Amino acid sequence: MTLVGLTGGIGSGKSYISAVFEHLNVPVYYADDRSKKIMTDNPKVVESVKDLLGEEAYFDDGRLNKQYVARKIFSDYELKKKLEAIVHPAVKKDFSEWVKQNKEEKLIVKESALLIESGSYKDLDYIVVVTAQLELRIKRVMDRDKKSEKEVLTLVNAQMSDDERIKFSDFVIDNSGEVLILSQIVEFLKKININVI
């Protein structure tokens, strides 16, 4: 089995590229979605998050209070690191179990915004970075999340740059709309000598 990590900055189109992989019958593990689920469904994680951030981190019905959590960690790097130290190991364990469930597959993809920052890229065979022009990324996020340009730029600047990500990559997919996505994915699959089509 070959494990591929897929990452990129906000608005780069990771989810879209992941969907193309899924259309090619490649299972995709969405780490960001799974981490949110773990933060509400894993009692040990929930307790640790409450200890770190306070009871207000969750609504009475058990849902994660995302805005509260984001406010708490956005301006406090140490607090953010402590939260990641709770969540990342739980996601790593969850991913390992998911890989076992898909052990018959020849290729699986792990999609994650923090693939490199979390260190989880080290457990994968190849890293694919999705890029797009900054203006396009900003527009996508403004349209999708109904945020102002300033708010989106703050999020972009809080993340690792594309240049930094590319240093860790084995392949780069340009999602600016100038090159067909499928042809880039086929090129990547040829490079790693895997045929899923």
Looking at the chain, the domain(s) classified CATH 3.40.50.300 span 1-27+106-197
Could you give the residue ranges of the DSSP H alpha helices within the chain? 14-23, 31-41, 43-53, 66-74, 77-101, 134-145, 149-158, 162-166, 181-191
What pLDDT score does 74 carry?
80
* Cα gap 57→128, rounded to integer Å: 33
Q: Is the dihedral of CA 42, 43, 45, 46 positive or negative?
A: positive
CA 83 from centre of chain: 16
Amino acid residing at 36? K
Tokens for 133, please give them. Answer: 């022009």
DSSP 64: B
**Apex CA 80: angle with CA 79 and CA 86, to 5°?**
95
CA distance 72 to 75: 7
pTM: 0.89
Tally of residues, the chain: 197
Q: What is the pLDDT of residue 64?
A: 95
The secondary element (H helix, E strand) that includes residue 108 is strand 107-111
pLDDT in tens, 7-26: 999 999 999 999 999 999 99
Superfamily of domain 1-27+106-197: P-loop containing nucleotide triphosphate hydrolases (3.40.50.300)
Which stretches in the chain have pLDDT values below 50?
A: none
